Structure 1
Amino acid sequence: MVKLIPSATSNKAKTAQSPVLTNDYPLPQESRAKKPKQSYKARYSEHGIVDDIGVEKRRVYQYTNDAGITVFSDNPPVENSYQVLLYQCFACRPDSTIDWYHIALNTKSYKAFVDNAAKQHHIDSALIRAVIHAESAFKSQAVSRVGAKGLMQLMPLTAKDMGVLDALNPADNINGGSRYLAKMLKQFNNNVELACAAYNAGPSNVAKYQGVPPFPETQAYVKRVQILYQRYKKAL
Structure 2
Amino acid sequence: MKVPALVLFSIFATTAVESRADIYQVVSANGAIMLTNIHRTDRKLVRVARERPVQAKAPGVVKPVRKGPLKAPRYSLIVAQAAFEYDLPAELLHAVITTESNYDPTAVSPKGAAGLMQLMPGTARDLGVHDVFDPTANVRGGARYLKRMMKLFGNDLSLALAAYNAGPGAVLAYDRAIPPYPETQRYVPSVLKHYKRLQADAKRPR
Whether these two folds match at TM > 0.5 is yes
Equivalent residue, structure 2, for 1:160: 125
3-state SS, counterpart of residue 189 of structure 1: coil
Distance in 1 (CA, whole Å) between partners of 2:198 and 2:137 is 22
Q: Unaligned 5+ residue runs, structure 1? A: 1-27, 30-48, 55-102
Q: Is residue 135 of structure 2 the alignment partner of residue 179 of structure 1? A: no
**Cα distance change, pair 136–190 in 1 and its aligned pair in 2 (3 A):** same
Equivalent residue, structure 1, for 2:182: 216
Distance in 2 (CA, whole Å) between partners of 1:136 and 1:50 is 19
3-state SS, counterpart of residue 108 of structure 1: helix
**Cα distance change, pair 155–188 in 1 and its aligned pair in 2 (3 A):** same
Equivalent residue, structure 2, for 1:45: none
3-state SS, counterpart of residue 153 of structure 1: coil
Q: Is residue 163 of structure 2 the alignment partner of residue 198 of structure 1? A: yes
Q: Is residue 134 of structure 2 the alignment partner of residue 121 of structure 1? A: no
Distance in 2 (CA, whole Å) between partners of 1:50 and 1:227 is 28
Residue in structure 1 matching 2:66, options 24, 49, 53: 53
Distance in 2 (CA, whole Å) between partners of 1:121 and 1:168 is 20
Query: Which amino acid letter does the alignment assign opposite residue 192 of structure 2?
Result: Q
Q: How many positions carry a matched residue from both structures? A: 142
Distance in 1 (CA, whole Å) between partners of 2:70 and 2:193 is 11
Deviation (angstroms), 1:146: 1.7
Distance in 2 (CA, whole Å) between partners of 1:145 and 1:223 is 21
Does the CA-based 8 Å contact 2:69-2:102 persist in structure 1?
no
In the TM superposition, 1:1-236 aligns within 5 A as 51-53=64-66, 107-210=72-175, 211-236=177-202
Distance in 1 (CA, whole Å) between partners of 2:94 and 2:154 is 21
Distance in 2 (CA, whole Å) between partners of 1:171 and 1:104 is 18
More helix by share: 2
3-state SS, counterpart of residue 176 of structure 1: helix
Deviation (angstroms), 1:106: 6.2
Identity %: 44
Cα shift readout 1:183-232 (whole Å, capped 9, x = no counterpart): 00110111110000000001011011120001111011101110001111
**Cα distance change, pair 146–112 in 1 and its aligned pair in 2 (3 A):** same
Distance in 2 (CA, whole Å) between partners of 1:221 and 1:201 is 10
Instruction: Point out which structure has higher relative CO (alpha carbons under 8 A, 6+ apart).
Output: 1
User: Deviating runs (4+, > 4 A) in structure 1?
Assistant: 103-107
Q: TM-score, normalised by structure 2?
A: 0.64
Q: TM-score, normalised by structure 1?
A: 0.56
Does the CA-based 8 Å contact 1:53-1:137 persist in structure 2?
no
- Which is higher, the Rg of structure 1 or of structure 2? 2
